[in-house]
């Protein structure tokens, strides 16, 4: 059974996120787990996520967030920031979520997070294309 759609095209921050994410070489959007996922061809960002709660089976929803893969050297600083959360399922694989509704969004910061995530998963030829763009 497919996941229900868990977003609307007019959700807060989704248009801005699309504008940034789809600017990466060979980037495309698909719907997985009911959410927009940005790939090239491996996924490097997801709009929306959740975090396990304190009670068994409880999940705290972050519908207006972006999940990105982070470099382990950056993880401690990001985890110290209250806007970030450890996403269910993907957290153990190096991902963090940024709650876009927690504060005024710095889209330059989001672009940097997407760039770093892209570089962790993309093929070398795509990273080279990105670097050639300047």
Structure token pair of residue 50: 């959740």
Q: Which domains, and CATH codes, for the chain?
A: 14-122 (3.90.1150.30)
The answer to whether the pTM exceeds 0.85 is: yes
| pLDDT tens, position by position, 37-64 | 999 999 999 999 999 988 998 999 999 9
Q: What was the pLDDT predicted at 42?
A: 97
Q: Quickly count: other Cβ atoms within 10 Å of residue 126's Cβ.
A: 19
pLDDT digits (tens, 9 = 90+) for 89-134: 999 999 999 999 998 999 999 999 999 999 999 999 999 999 998 7
As a whole number of angstroms, the distance between CA 89 and CA 95 comes to 9
d(CA 26, CA 11): 24
Q: Please write the tens of the pLDDT for every residue from 6-41.
A: 999 999 999 999 999 999 999 999 999 999 999 999
């Amino acid at each position: 059974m497919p996941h229900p759609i868990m977003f609307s095209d007019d959700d807060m921050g989704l248009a801005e996120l699309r504008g940034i994410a789809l600017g990466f070489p060979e980037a495309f959007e698909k719907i997985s787990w009911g959410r927009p996922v940005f790939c090239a061809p491996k996924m490097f960002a997801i709009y929306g996520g959740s975090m396990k709660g304190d009670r068994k089976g409880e999940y705290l929803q972050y519908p207006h967030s972006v999940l990105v893969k982070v470099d382990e050297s950056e993880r401690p600083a990001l985890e110290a920031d209250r806007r970030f959360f450890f996403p269910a399922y993907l957290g153990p694989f190096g991902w963090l979520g940024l709650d876009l509704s927690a504060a005024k969004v710095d889209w330059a910061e989001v672009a940097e997070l997407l760039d770093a995530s892209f570089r962790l998963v993309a093929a070398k030829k795509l990273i080279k294309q990105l670097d050639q763009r300047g």
